[in-house]
Chains A and B, each alone.
Chain A
Amino acid sequence: MSDQPKIEAKNLDFYYGAKQALKSLNIACHPRKVTAIIGPSGCGKSTFIRTLNRMNDVVAGTRVAGDILVDGSSILGPKIDVVELRKRIGMVFQKPNPFPKSIFDNIAYGLRINGMAGSREHLEEVVEKSLVEAALWDEVKDRLKDNAFALSGGQQQRLCIARALAVEPEVILFDEPCSAIDPIATAKIEDLIERLKSTYTVVIVTHNMQQAARVSDYTAFLMLGELIEFDETKKIFTAPSQKMTEDYITGRFG
């Protein structure tokens, strides 16, 4: 059973109104592996990753067809508890989105709304553990009461990762997590992703091909909503089977 994918998209179609954004995608994300989604702007990368925790539900006029399985069971359809699903599948957004609260309260937020806060000691313990896991603890341990907006962009993004980790997800989705931060902060987040995959299933959307090559085990290349190629990252970047993939990763377009 260890070969069962954590997440599996099957013939996944997605529409914004009449416009089809994803065309019959088949992508499998394995546990304790990093799966990268690459492709030029507008190819459907973000749309795809947002279907995995049903974030697109909040966008009016969208429609999804096909299926998405998590641990072998479908997460589409009206009977699924979306709130519970989103707790299991955490998400880190493109632009760091700390809440205008203290660093502590940012991490505690998810625990509080999910009734996981427990005693003050327990809460403090989880906040510390999450910040340690997100490699931010040493930088903020003396100022947990400070407003999260006082942190740098890179620190804010790690705070958002810590916030996602605090509710004990099984999967973490990264939607271009480094597009709004500088190279040094990017390197820290890549290190972090490398470490997170020992525990979690990670899916990352990125427009940065080097990043995909560095952090991921599998890579999916999308173009105009279609899956062009999906394989081990090593293979995609050294011996792609499709001409279009080769043209894209060598920078001939995109």
Chain B
Amino acid sequence: MTSSSTKKIRQALGFLFLRLCLALVLAAVALFLADIISRGSSSLSWEFISQKPRRGMTEGGIFPAIFGTFLVTAVTALLAVPVGICAAIYLNEYAKKNRLTRLIRLSIRNLSGVPSIVYGLFGVILFVNMMKFGTSILSAGLTLGLMTLPWTITASEEALKTVPNSFREGALALGATKWQAIRTNVLPYALPGMLTGTVLGLARAAGETAPIMFTGAAFALPFLPKSLGDQFMALPYHLYIMATQHHDIAKVRPLAYGTALVLIIFVLGLNLGAVILRYRLRRRHKRF
């Protein structure tokens, strides 16, 4: 056998392996989605997403949980997006490239690997007890915000790194201050990447249970929250209750699947929104 045909066979085998890996991933996602959709779609109705639960959750809808998840995600975004972007700008543009900066960056990466229950308990101590926000949307949102920060910082910093240095130098050479150069000639081009990473982080936060179960989420509430100081119902926590803690699990199973489906749609919707936003921002400036 000639060496050139050996090389070709090796390449074919290599590609085959890569394709198999991709197929495996896609199959897992497809199976998962198919299962949830087939079991959950029968519960989906206008009533399901617009009504309160009735009769000990065995009937009615999940509107309070949707509303609560929406609110708590907004609080999360309010903390994680601006602080994350600012921290990333500082780290990438201003901080000296020394050992301390590297240590800070390493710590941030490590924080993104801390289990969410640890954040949850930390949130109880810091926000619920010390800052006296009580178990509330505010406490839960801030806890989720803390958990999301490492993700938004890292994603934003990566986005800043993709902006060529020649944009910074070009602006400086025209008499821009450092901040002008960053604001007008770096940030606009990093923004699409920042948003994508940030929204991915938020989507992950929206689906978390552990950080909110001690900081503000409630199993059932007669009223919708009226302020950020109130407790709230949330989709992931509702799902957890319906799937494992309810007194009549078999009966509420379809509702649990319906809740799961709504949660997935919420998260995918966030991601889709990020994709559209990025696409529109990118079209404004041609890619460098």
Q: Chain A contacts of B171 at CB under 8 A? A: 99, 109, 113
Contacting pair A86 B172 (CB below 8 A): yes
Contacting pair A114 B286 (CB below 8 A): no
Could you name 5 residue pairs across A and B whose Cβ atoms are closer than 8 Å?
A58-B169, A86-B174, A90-B173, A99-B167, A113-B175
Return A86 CB to nearest CB of chain B, in Å: 5
From B175, B189, B285, B288, give the contact of A110 (CB < 8 A): B175
Contact with A along B165-206 (1 / 0, CB 8 A): 011111111111100100011000100000000000000000
Contacting pair B285 A97 (CB below 8 A): no
Binding site for A on B (CB under 8 A): 96-97, 164, 166-177, 180, 184-185, 189, 285-288
Closest to A88 in B: B175
Return B159 CB to nearest CB of chain A, in Å: 15
From A87, A100, A109, give the contact of B287 (CB < 8 A): A100
Binding site for B on A (CB under 8 A): 53, 55, 58, 60, 83-84, 86-87, 90-91, 93, 95, 97, 99-101, 109-110, 112-114, 147, 149-150, 160, 163-164, 167
From B168, B172, B175, B286, give the contact of A100 (CB < 8 A): B286
Q: Chain A contacts of B173 at CB under 8 A? A: 53, 55, 86, 90-91, 93, 164
From A95, A113, A149, give the contact of B174 (CB < 8 A): A113
Q: Chain B contacts of A113 at CB under 8 A? A: 171, 174-176, 180, 184
Contacting pair B96 A60 (CB below 8 A): yes
Q: Chain B contacts of A55 at CB under 8 A? A: 169, 172-173
Contacting pair B175 A86 (CB below 8 A): yes
Contacting pair B175 A164 (CB below 8 A): no
From B170, B176, B287, give the contact of A97 (CB < 8 A): B170
In whole angstroms, what is the CA distance A91 to B189 when docked?
23
From A93, A163, A167, give the contact of B166 (CB < 8 A): A93
Closest to A54 in B: B172
Contacting pair B176 A60 (CB below 8 A): no
In whole angstroms, what is the CA distance A101 to B167 when docked?
11
Q: Chain B contacts of A58 at CB under 8 A? A: 168-169, 172
Contacting pair B166 A83 (CB below 8 A): no
Q: Chain A contacts of B176 at CB under 8 A? A: 83, 110, 113
Contacting pair A90 B286 (CB below 8 A): no
Q: Ordered nearest first, which 9 A-B pairs have the shortest CB separation?
A: A87-B175, A97-B166, A110-B174, A91-B173, A100-B285, A147-B286, A97-B170, A113-B176, A86-B175
Q: Chain A contacts of B167 at CB under 8 A? A: 97, 99
Return B96 CB to nearest CB of chain A, in Å: 6
Closest to A112 in B: B184
In whole angstroms, what is the CA distance A90 to B285 when docked?
25
In whole angstroms, what is the CA distance A113 to B186 when docked?
14
Contacting pair A90 B174 (CB below 8 A): yes
In whole angstroms, what is the CA distance A100 to B184 when docked?
11
From A95, A100, A160, A163, give the contact of B189 (CB < 8 A): A100
Return A196 CB to nearest CB of chain B, in Å: 16
Closest to A87 in B: B175
Q: Chain B contacts of A91 at CB under 8 A? A: 173
In whole angstroms, what is the CA distance A86 to B180 when docked?
14
Q: Chain B contacts of A114 at CB under 8 A? A: 174-175
Closest to B177 in A: A83
In whole angstroms, what is the CA distance A127 to B172 when docked?
19
Return B173 CB to nearest CB of chain A, in Å: 4
In whole angstroms, what is the CA distance A60 to B94 when docked?
11
Return A73 CB to nearest CB of chain B, in Å: 18
Closest to B287 in A: A100
Q: Chain A contacts of B174 at CB under 8 A? A: 86-87, 90, 109-110, 113-114, 163-164, 167
Q: Which of B168, B176, B184 has the most CB of A within 10 A?
A: B176
Contacting pair B286 A95 (CB below 8 A): no
From A83, A99, A101, A160, give the contact of B175 (CB < 8 A): A83
Q: Chain A contacts of B168 at CB under 8 A? A: 58
In whole angstroms, what is the CA distance A46 to B177 when docked?
22
Return A163 CB to nearest CB of chain B, in Å: 7
In whole angstroms, what is the CA distance A147 to B175 when docked?
23
